[in-house]
Amino acid sequence: MDLHKNVIRLPQWAATPAGVRAQARQGLFNGNTSGMAPGYGQGNLVILPKSWAEDFYGYCQANPTPCPLIGMTEPGKAAVPMLGNDIDLRTDLPRYRVWRDGELVEEIDDVTALWQDDFVGFVLGCSLSFEYALEQAGLRVRHVDEGKIVPMFHSSIQTRRVGVFHGPMVVSMRPYTPEQARVAYDVCGGLPGAHGAPVHMGDPAAIGIADVNRPDEGEPTEIRPGEVPIFWGCGVTPQAAAILARPPIVITHAPGHMLIGDVPVEQLRLI
């Protein structure tokens, strides 16, 4: 079987973090970032008013697997210098979600018009960051090859509550054989800034997933004979927490539409 059949070919600008950010900033790209700028850290985004930021920071510290905090802004600032010298959180993600009082109200490509002087931005490590490392270890990533968004599920695993933030761990899934899974555990275990090792493999029902072919976010990924589903912590977890906490406004990434910084994934550090 040709493992490279139907692999999506990326445009030249998608080879570098700056190229992807520039396309998003100019409104020329609003798609998912799976497989882009291979080797560099991708990040989930949560933007909150300052009065909610302390609890959220504590929530990330208490739940580093689904919420590995790798970047944070000063109040009112959109730059994240620890991840790159030319990053603007208002424009540099392909697509954003806007939540008000726990309800999703819109998806947009630029949040400049919504920016507030008291906003604090949090960037959390993303599972899309380790996919290049998996491929370097000889493991294909099926949803990348097929040009899909990774499937994500709300699990029954509960995060540790801090202040108003709590809720279920969201997990992402990639299928591998048991032998391949051992490689995936070894590779990802050394990347804590990208969720680290998987949190579960095998029976989805054991972590509260009724149908692995019907993800809560993203798109279904085929599980072939001899393969088992492998689940990692996912940075969509804070969106679930925000729905329960109900801040007056939260801005997040749209699932699969990440910030790509200039730091190689193996150099990402938790803060």
| More confident site: 196 or 9 | 196
pLDDT for residue 163:
97
Mean pLDDT confidence for 145-168: 96
pLDDT at 257 over 60: yes
| Region 110-125 average pLDDT | 98
Least reliable range by pLDDT among 2-16, 61-75, 79-93: 2-16
Question: 3-state SS of 107-171?
Answer: EECCCHHHCCCCEEEEEEECHHHHHHHHHHCCCCCHHHHCCCCCCEEEEEEECCCECCECCEEEE
Would you identify the CATH topology of the domain 16-127+245-267? PSTPO5379-like (3.40.1640)
Q: Which CATH class is domain 129-233?
A: alpha beta
Q: What gap in Å lies between CA 33 and CA 180, rounded to an integer?
A: 24
> What is the arithmetic mean of pLDDT over 73-86?
96
Report if pTM > 0.85.
yes
Each domain of the chain, given as residue ranges in start order, spans 16-127+245-267, 129-233
Q: Which residues of 175-212 are buried (b: 16+ CB within 10 A; e: fewer)?
A: bbeeebbeebeebbeebbbbbbbbbbbeebeebebeeb
**Dist CA 229 CA 216 (whole Å):** 15
Query: How confident is the model at residue 3, as a pLDDT?
Result: 31
Q: What integer is the mean pLDDT of 180-200? A: 97
- pLDDT of 108 > 50? The answer is yes
Digit-coded pLDDT (tens) for 53-76: 999 999 999 999 999 999 999 999
